[in-house]
Structure 1
Amino acid sequence: MTPACAQDDLQTTPTRLTLQVTADPPGERCRRLETSDAAPLGSVSLHRTFHDDFDTHPLVNGKWVPHYAGGAAWPEARYWGGDGSDFKRKTSYNGEQQIYVDPRYGGRSITPLGLDPFKIQDGILSIVASRTPAALKTLLFDNEYVSGILTTQSSFAQKYGYFEIRAKIPVGTGVWPAFWMLANDGGWPPEIDVMEGRGGRPGDLVMTTHWRIPATGKVESCGFDFRVPDAPGQFHDYGVLWAPDRLVYFIDRKPVTDARVPVGFEDPMYMIVNLAMGSKFFGGVGVVDAETPVTVAFEIDRISAYQIDP
């Protein structure tokens, strides 16, 4: 596939971007784009609307909050809990074994515990998951790990455009890093999983779209796994273009899969980046065990969003 115009230096983030995309009508189900001749290509011109290159701590600039914002109609609608609960800080339905913390979070305590999973060094954000200290386990609802999540639900959401993360994908039993998007109205689905890492399968990542069939209420999903062998040790770009007629997923700004935009994608969407630990349902992750690393770092160089030019 032909790379995007901005491929010469992936370390920089242009304010304007041109992506090559499929030009033929996309199908209702997603398809892999294996080679440049899999489908005719056109181009989309974009301008940047959101950017964080993590030169400073993510909680000082107002772009992110370190928990779910609440009001989401999930399989378990549990995110209305206050600061003294875990309701906004994990998805128990998935079998997750971490709790998302930040320096101001106290769990069952009335005072902050001062736990900070967000580390900044040389312009790289590391979301660090670590074994819960024994002395704090009861205060943190007996979760095996403390980790971090960042969401723009309260600060940035956009309908259509290109959304991208540049990151390394950590590995290990129970390790589940993700960059994804939800509707700003709090409904679920739709959901766009730009990148999810299968920690037990190094170099394996998945890109998936989720939607609901109005007539039946059934949730449908379509996505593919991709092999990026050096993903744990090297930074790569993972992105999605949400256009009025299609969703196109990218690795290093090369299109790898696309589909027609499903029903229900009417509301602006916000971005989420997190490092979960443990899963009952997501293949290649599994539950944390004695082999799971004591600490895991999800390294992120930058996150950006672009809007499609008129």
Structure 2
Amino acid sequence: MGVAVSGQGIPELPGYRLVFADEFDGDRDTSSWSGYQGQPKGRPQARWRRDHLLCHDSRMLLRTTFTEGLWTSGGTSNARAGTQTGGAWAFRFRARPAAGIGYAFLLYPGGGGWPPEVDLVEDFGGERRRFRTTVHWSDPTTGRHEQKGWAVEHDQTAWTTVVARIDPGRFTVDVEGVRVLDWDGTLDDGTPVPWAVPDSLPLWFGMQAHAADGATDETTPPVSDVEVDWVARYARLD
């Protein structure tokens, strides 16, 4: 591995082996990363364009600009590099403050459909002092969409390493080496929902920026970036 521009490289994870890594040292590897194009669902005043997904100075940039009267952003799927059932995903990023400009790092089912989805890190714009992690699933009896979310206090304007693991019956997230989330599929009232932990589904990793309708204001910069230093995926050794 090369020298990370953020000063911290891809980690080794005990109990896992590295199966994919990208440090974005050249142009976007289109065999691994596809670019989003079109209108984000439910966001009529926003759009995605592939030319807002940039590789520059060993970083991938998810850029947002105000272009032709619309907030236009970059987003990408890593599905071309394969899906994975369980294991770990790690990435290092930072985001500039921007009112109304959100972003997400997520896991999505290889077979399509929604839910399930795991939003590993999701921010809705502003000062970047707090993000949310959310697990979405369907109730196996009613088919109703359910979710559980956690708020994590963390300054995302500084370079931040996130490691998320999906092990049998357990979902954990570490931020800068600190465990911030450890969930065994039990709701706050004690109700077990073991099917909510997507440990048997093939998942792909994606990352995207997007504007929220009506949430931008006069302080929103005309150009803002979410910078990604590297992304890695690991399989369990067992």
The whole-number CA distance in structure 2 between the counterparts of 1:236 and 1:297 is 15
Post-superposition CA distance 1:129-184 (Å, at most 9, x none): 10113xxx5xxxxxx12211110223321000111110002322111111001100
Percent identity over paired residues = 23
The whole-number CA distance in structure 2 between the counterparts of 1:246 and 1:216 is 23
Residue 248 in 1 paired to residue 168 in 2?
no
Aligned partner of 2:208 in structure 1 is 274
Choose the corresponding residue for 2:85, options 159, 167, 170: 159
Contact 1:167–1:236 (CA under 8 A) maintained in structure 2? yes
The whole-number CA distance in structure 1 between the counterparts of 2:44 and 2:195 is 29
Task: Give the TM-score normalised by the residue count of structure 1.
Answer: 0.67
- CA RMSD in angstroms, aligned pairs only: 2.0
Correspondence 1:52-201 to 2 at 5 A? 52-58=22-28, 60-67=29-36, 89-93=38-42, 95=43, 97-102=45-50, 116-133=51-68, 144-201=70-127
The structure having more radius of gyration, on CA atoms, is: 1
Contact 1:57–1:118 (CA under 8 A) maintained in structure 2? no
Q: Which has the higher contact order (CA 8 A, sep 6+)?
A: 2
Letter in 2 for 1:90: Q
Aligned residues: 223
List runs of 5+ in structure 2 lacking aligned partners. 1-5, 186-193
- The structure 1 segments of at least 4 consecutive aligned residues displaced by more than 4 Å after TM superposition are none
> Secondary structure of the equivalent of 1:17?
coil
Letter in 2 for 1:185: G
Aligned partner of 1:304 in structure 2 is 232
Letter in 1 for 2:204: Y
Residue 258 in 1 paired to residue 198 in 2?
no
1:299 Cα deviation after fit: 0.6
Contact 1:210–1:219 (CA under 8 A) maintained in structure 2? yes
Contact 2:86–2:201 (CA under 8 A) maintained in structure 1? no
Correspondence 1:219-238 to 2 at 5 A? 219-229=145-155, 231-232=156-157, 234-238=158-162
1:98 Cα deviation after fit: 2.2
The whole-number CA distance in structure 1 between the counterparts of 2:13 and 2:86 is 15
Post-superposition CA distance 1:282-303 (Å, at most 9, x none): xxxx622333211111111011
1:96 Cα deviation after fit: 5.7
> Secondary structure of the equivalent of 1:217?
coil
Choose the corresponding residue for 2:20, options 39, 45, 50: 50
